Amino acid sequence: MEALGWTVVESKLDYKQAQEALFTIGNGYLGTRGALEEGYPSQHPVTLIHGVYDDVPVVYTELVNCPNWLSWKIKIDGETFRCDSEALLQADRGDILHYERRLDLRSGVLLREVTWRSPRGHTVELRFERFASISDRHVLAQRCQIKSVDFAATVEFEAQIDSEVDNQGLNHWEDLKQGDSNLNDQELGIWLEARTSKSEIQLAMAAKLVVADAEAEILAQHNPGCPSLTTQFFIHPGQTVNLEKLVTVFTSREVDDPKQSAWDKLQDLPSYMTLLAPQMATWRQIWENSDVLIEGDLKAQLAVRYNLFQLLIAAPRHDDTVSIPAKTLSGFGYRGHVFWDTEIFILPFFIYTQPELARNLLMYRYRTLPGARRKAQEGGYEGALFAWESAGTGDEVTPRWVPDKTGEMIRIWCRDIELHINTDVAYGVWKYWQVTGDDAWLQDYGAEIILDTAIFWASRVEWNRDRLCYEISDVIGPDENHEHVDNNAFTNGMVRWHLERALQLWSWLEQRDSAFAAQLARKINLTDTRLSKWVEIVQKIEVKQDQETCLIEQFDGFLNLEDVNLTDYEPRSESMQAILGISETNQRQILKQPDVLMLLYLLGDHYEDDGSACSRERTLATNWDYYHQRTDRSYGSSLAPAIHSILASQMQQPQAAYEDFMQAALVDLDNLRGNTAEGIHGACAGGVWQAIVFGFAGVRLTPNGFTTQPQLPPGWTRLKFRLQWQEQWYEFDLRPQNTQPSTMPEIQGVIFDLDGVLTDTADFHYLGWKQLADEMNIPFDSQINEGMRGLPRRESLLHILGDRQVPAVEFEEMMERKNGYYLKLIEGISPDNLLPGVRSLLEQLRSHQIKIGIGSSSKNARMVLEKLGIAEFIEAIADGYSVSRPKPAPDLFLHAANLLHLEPEKCLVVEDAGAGVEAALAANMWALGVGPHERLGHAHLVLPSLENTSWEDLQRRLNEVRSQFRFAI
């Protein structure tokens, strides 16, 4: 596995199902694992749609594996293309000459390139692409590009929708119907309709096949449960043919007639490339708010972005009746059930970066309150008790018994006594309100969640007459190695916090809207007697802490259990519970995850110095030293390492923090726990983001806003991200103290790139290159063009040609030909083509006596500036004729600075390309990026455009660039 910036790359085919999970794509509506289009015998294609549950034995309900929309069947001269090595006969396999699969995290596109030699010796290059549209959740798109290297023969294609899928042996679909019809005069479509057997959710998929660059008739074919579109064409050596398969999907959860909706949408679908444009644009906007930039550690950078990508494709964007399952939408682990993972580990990422998605996740808990009330009532309690494992209705779906690896049935007590889920949900609601200031949502929805779950706790606690305190007995804390314990520190501590917040919330609600508060009190039967009991519980609930040592006992009697040195069991490849057994582990000080440390992380501010011997720092240090070494960090809970990393950062142990962080960040990329095949570790992914922001960056939210106490890992030279608080964005750009300039030098010159900054001639360049590529029969599209952003003409042509060799004379002629196309296209350019804000900024710079230069790879810069009517502002032009080394080499900008007679550190470069920003930084200049953060995040400052930008504001914002930030909001 290779990791390069934004792309996860697999350069050798791996048949493990962990890879299928690893290459999952999605759009917040569904997730599709990385099965191969042509399939292989041990493959298990999986597509899971939010909310599409069906009843099953033992585990109650599970997300249903939906029909496989990926399937292609390809024959070359009668021989079936296959990538696997599991053919019955060696002669049937052919040879894989080249293989590479890439998941582009920037665009959500999964790409695979294969060069295959058939058993008869025909060599073919295949390129597969797929994406689940993030801009239209009901659209799925595939493309296959096939090129004959050395043969002339017939190629046969079959594009299927296959309902022969299962959930590890169980097929949930029945009442299958299928058909085909003409979409228009030129296109034929197929459809498949089915219904889940118990929940009776209807699903429909429709698909069409488009063939470009070849004469081909498309026909429909119907095998039971597997409609398909077939075609064949003749291909010649060197010829490339493109095929597109576009799919629509709807369920009865969204529409009354899924089949009609799927068909109507299919009729209106444009081409693959047209669909790709909004896909890329939407992802650019998402990453602008979500990205975390790390410089100095490429492996960590890729790992962080991968984890965030998996969260982003699992978050319901248009549905507030569902939530993110523990294994996201990437596998069968935990059957698609929702745990505390969402509120404690995943939700913070969305609260601070995309609060509208956080609100959707919390609305799921509001809509499942009836199920929580049923659970409390069934247990003989009052109020609401959220299910440990939840699905569609909020009723408890944790299995009572499950078989272990020997087949012996094991009782699962979490459903009955792992109660901290109630405080976890309340914590998520409170954090959402604290960060967003969404008073209306708290009143209308959140208050009922916090208050009714608080009512449960008042009915669950017990009064100990001997110790004169409230207790909570017979529970399981987050550390599931220990069952049936009394006074679990995490549970009791969180309950105290929960009731404190409930009282605070009730006071706020009465002041805000007394009539509404009275109505809610009647609805949930909240009385003065109950409120008084909450006050008493807060004052008298037990959380044991030794006032001399400051050690908090995890639960009653924990310190009397047998102690174990975990290093005595190394090396190992399974959990300590698997080695010792459930009963034996229960009798030892071996933690699946450390409850006390988790409590100190979530409620650390409650242990601030109050003059007692047990300060926050001492309490954390003491409990870290005791519990960290007793935690099964390798094979216990995947939730623990990220929290350990945060606490290590708080104790100024950056190396320990980094080690725990990487254990969390690589849990799926490197399959560290050997269970990625079951699905992506969603909570771990959320913990990775928290470790970055609250650990390494040291961000803390105070009543007055943010503060930071950075502890960057060794080797990291920069950490940059954005957070939203009270509907306002804040940028954090952190560097080691000795690498960040402490003051902003006086800027005396501004050097502008031309295209994408002053004007946008990108479309003209694209059309010029596209015309040249088409003449040469070279595949070229906007995605390839995006990879050329900022490159000069020669390097752009080399990028297009790839491995193709052309004589030098012909190469020069191609460049001139493209330039001719471009010049013709821009003949009509005028001052109207200036981008918004440009002329105003140029006038301000001139009035402040700031020198203005151009640093552009274009060899037509002078002509374009004249046509734009801004040549009068420009004092120096460094262009494609000026230097030999292109960006990201600093030569072009250094030459411009020399022409302006300025030192590099007194120049500001304005760029829209990543290579240009790199060039500016290499020149020791200040860099302003204009465009999306995911492309330009390494600039000192990034703006979406120059519109409404003033020189004074730019100076002020550049002065805010520091190694540490302290915000007073």
Lowest mean pLDDT among 522-531, 711-720, 805-814: 805-814
Q: Is 443 helix (H, G, I), strand (E, B) or coil?
A: helix
Higher pLDDT, 775 or 785: 775
**Whole-number pLDDT of residue 957:** 84
Over 60: is that where the pLDDT of 738 sits? no
**Whole-number pLDDT of residue 961:** 65
CA 80 to each of CA 77, 125, 217, 240: distance values in angstroms, whole numbers, following the listed order: 9, 14, 20, 19
**Whole-number pLDDT of residue 85:** 57
Over 60: is that where the pLDDT of 13 sits? yes
- The answer to whether residues 325 and 63 touch, using CB atoms and an 8 Å cutoff, is yes
Binding residues: 753-755, 769, 788-793, 796, 818, 856-860, 887, 911-912
Write the CB contacts of 373 (distance below 8 Å, at least 6 apart in sequence).
383, 384, 452
DSSP 8-state code for residue 606: G
Question: What 3 state SS string does 662-706 have?
Answer: HHHHCCCCCCCCCCHHHCCCHHHHHHHHHHHHHHHCCCEEECCEE
Task: Identify residue 600 by its one-letter amino acid code.
Answer: L
pLDDT tens column, 463-504: 999 999 999 999 999 999 999 999 999 999 999 999 999 999
**Whole-number pLDDT of residue 969:** 20
Residue 933 pLDDT grade (very low, low, confident, very high; cuts 50, 70, 90):
confident
Residue 791 pLDDT grade (very low, low, confident, very high; cuts 50, 70, 90):
low
Residue 120 has, within 13 A of its CA and on its CB side, a CA count of: 13
Calculate what percentage of the chain has a pLDDT beyond 70.
Answer: 96
Over 50: is that where the pLDDT of 87 sits? no
Binding residues for Mg(2+): 753, 755, 911-912
Across the range 428-444, mean pLDDT stands at 97
Over 70: is that where the pLDDT of 30 sits? yes
pLDDT tens column, 534-553: 999 999 999 999 999 999 99
Cis peptide upstream of residue 641 (ω within 30 degrees of 0): no
**Whole-number pLDDT of residue 501:** 98
- The answer to whether residues 171 and 165 touch, using CB atoms and an 8 Å cutoff, is yes
DSSP 8-state code for residue 464: E
Whole-number Å distance between alpha carbons of 349 and 370: 27
**Whole-number pLDDT of residue 881:** 83
Sole residue written with tokens 């519970």: 577
Q: Is 347 helix (H, G, I), strand (E, B) or coil?
A: helix
Binding residues for substrate: 753-755, 769, 788-793, 796, 818, 856-860, 887
Over 50: is that where the pLDDT of 51 sits? yes
Residue 968 pLDDT grade (very low, low, confident, very high; cuts 50, 70, 90):
very low
Q: Locate 426 and state its tokens.
A: 């309340």
Lowest mean pLDDT among 23-32, 661-670, 721-730: 721-730
Across the range 585-601, mean pLDDT stands at 96
pLDDT tens column, 269-296: 999 999 999 999 899 999 999 999 999 9
CA 450 to each of CA 169, 416, 501, 581, 619: distance values in angstroms, whole numbers, following the listed order: 41, 21, 8, 37, 28
Whole-number Å distance between alpha carbons of 109 and 23: 10
Q: Which residues pair with 475 in a beta bridge?
A: 485
pLDDT tens column, 496-518: 999 999 999 999 999 999 999 99
Over 60: is that where the pLDDT of 661 sits? yes
Residue 703 pLDDT grade (very low, low, confident, very high; cuts 50, 70, 90):
confident
**Whole-number pLDDT of residue 743:** 42
In CATH terms, the fold of domain 7-287 is: Beta-galactosidase; Chain A, domain 5 (2.70.98)
As a whole number, the mean pLDDT across the chain is 91
Lowest mean pLDDT among 66-80, 739-753, 882-896: 739-753
For domain 738-759+832-968, which architecture applies? 3-Layer(aba) Sandwich (3.40)
Residue 241 pLDDT grade (very low, low, confident, very high; cuts 50, 70, 90):
very high
Phi, psi torsion values for 907, nearest 5 degrees: -115, 145
Please say whether the structural domain 761-828 has been given the CATH code 3.40.50.300: no
Over 90: is that where the pLDDT of 607 sits? no
Over 90: is that where the pLDDT of 256 sits? yes
Over 80: is that where the pLDDT of 746 sits? no
Whole-number Å distance between alpha carbons of 95 and 33: 25
Over 50: is that where the pLDDT of 740 sits? no
**Whole-number pLDDT of residue 934:** 79
Whole-number Å distance between alpha carbons of 466 and 463: 9
Residue 77 pLDDT grade (very low, low, confident, very high; cuts 50, 70, 90):
very high
Q: Locate 122 and state its tokens.
A: 């025909």
The helix (run of H) or strand (run of E) holding residue 907 is: strand 907-911
Lowest mean pLDDT among 159-168, 665-674, 908-917, 956-965: 956-965
Over 50: is that where the pLDDT of 807 sits? yes
**Whole-number pLDDT of residue 745:** 54
Across the range 855-860, mean pLDDT stands at 86
Higher pLDDT, 846 or 784: 846
Residue 317 pLDDT grade (very low, low, confident, very high; cuts 50, 70, 90):
very high
**Whole-number pLDDT of residue 3:** 37
Residues marked active site are found at 753, 755
Across the range 415-425, mean pLDDT stands at 98
Across the range 210-231, mean pLDDT stands at 94
Residue 611 pLDDT grade (very low, low, confident, very high; cuts 50, 70, 90):
low
Strands 293-295 vs 718-725: parallel, antiparallel or unpaired: antiparallel
pLDDT tens column, 114-125: 999 999 999 999
Give the start-to-end residue ranges of the domains of the chain: 7-287, 738-759+832-968, 761-828
Helix residue ranges per DSSP H, 220-334? 258-268, 272-290, 298-314
Across the range 78-102, mean pLDDT stands at 77
pLDDT tens column, 326-365: 999 999 999 999 999 999 999 999 999 999 999 999 999 9
Over 80: is that where the pLDDT of 1 sits? no
Q: Locate 368 and state its tokens.
A: 């499942």
